[in-house]
Structure 1
Amino acid sequence: MRVPTQPAILLVDDHHGVREAMVQLLEENGMTICGQASSVEEAVALLDTQRPDLVLVDLLPDDAGLKLVADLNSRGIPVVVCSSRQNPEYARRALDAGARAYVAKGDAARTLPRILKDVLEGWVLISPRAAE
């Protein structure tokens, strides 16, 4: 699988500050942010105009992120879940819904750019902290 030179990433997280930090981290690592959403509804609306190479999703309140993961998976769009929830049950549920990776937010600064590139190459991954 060929990884785009500058992958287009859609960010979905209900915390503005987290999205801004992710934008900075990913752009510093050669990725393009094609959109940001704070809810499932906003993310789905963006898909009408954007075709991201990958979507980075938080689990969101009421596990709405898991429903979005399943929807994106059915559209053939790779999804990485980045969450502060470190219970292995959440990682399992995200992977069952179709996520290609589960990353603990505490690991994001150190591992996220590499994980996104690996997922775009076809890998399925779980960060060490989430795997614990």
Structure 2
Amino acid sequence: MKKTRLILADDHQIIVEGLKGVLSTEPDIELIGTAADGRELVEMAFKYRPDVIIVDISMPLLNGIDATEQMIRDGLKSKIIILTMHNDAMYAARAFDAGASGYVLKHSAPNELVKAIREVLRGHNYITPLVDGEIIRGYRSGSNKNLNLSRKLTTRQKEVLSMLAEGFTAKEIGKKLHISVRTVEFHKYKMMEELGIDSSAELIMFAVKHKLTEP
């Protein structure tokens, strides 16, 4: 029997261990790796090219939705399931627009995650019943202003923005991303220019308001 190869990305170890327990009961699923941040996930995904990736939204360096968008844009064929605490139509819509195939809430029953894995492997999309389908459809048919604003930013800019919102200094961001402080500042002011924002504080407030990153 061919096993489904799976990668799990979440920065909370207690969640990772709990999911390992859930997945270990499924003889046809093999967990081949775990990642604690978005950049590590992207590197691991292209190295191992699993069948399925389960990823949290709120992760350091690169959140789960932006990591999903980057992987799909760069040609990864893995099915991606967002596993999150956010019972929010906007997050769900952004996840599917980024290329995810599934959206499951962390407080759902464990067997729902397994069901989602089965569904996406069949080529179907899966969204938890706990997120109102009518809200999702209404959001998708309405204004996509937040999504369009997000698409103005490059992947590197989103990384910088995410870390700024987490409270890292330009020096700390440069060290973690292996770029100079000057480059960090360039990305920050480029984002401010693109979005019509006048200060660093407004930039972070914009990111939180439009759910482009997790503070």
Length-normalised TM-score, structure 2: 0.56
Map 1:1-132 to 2 at 5 A.
5-30=2-27, 31-61=29-59, 64-74=63-73, 75-131=76-132
2: CA distance between counterparts of 1:40 and 1:102? 17
Question: Contact 1:25–1:109 (CA<8 Å) still a contact in 2?
Answer: yes
The runs of 5 or more residues in structure 2 that have no matched partner are: 134-215
SS at match of 1:19: helix
1: CA distance between counterparts of 2:102 and 2:42? 20
Give the number of aligned pairs: 129
Q: Which has the higher helix share?
A: 2
Length-normalised TM-score, structure 1: 0.88
> Which of 1 and 2 has greater Rg?
2
2: CA distance between counterparts of 1:84 and 1:94? 13
Q: Over the residues paired in the alignment, what is the CA RMSD in angstroms?
A: 1.8
How many angstroms does 1:58 deviate by? 0.3
Deviates more, 1:54-63 or 1:27-36: 54-63
Question: Contact 2:7–2:45 (CA<8 Å) still a contact in 1?
Answer: no
Runs of 4+ in 1 over 3 A off after TM superposition: none
Q: Which has the higher strand share?
A: 1
The runs of 5 or more residues in structure 1 that have no matched partner are: none
Identity %: 26
For each residue in 1:36-84, what CA deviation from the matched residue of structure 2 results, as whole angstroms up to 9, or x when unmatched?
Answer: 0010121122235312101001002477111111122232221000100
Letter in 2 for 1:66: I
2: CA distance between counterparts of 1:91 and 1:11? 19
For each residue in 1:11-46, what CA deviation from the matched residue of structure 2 results, as whole angstroms up to 9, or x when unmatched?
Answer: 001111111111111121221101000101211222
Larger RCO, structures 1/2 (Cα 8 Å, 6+ apart): 1
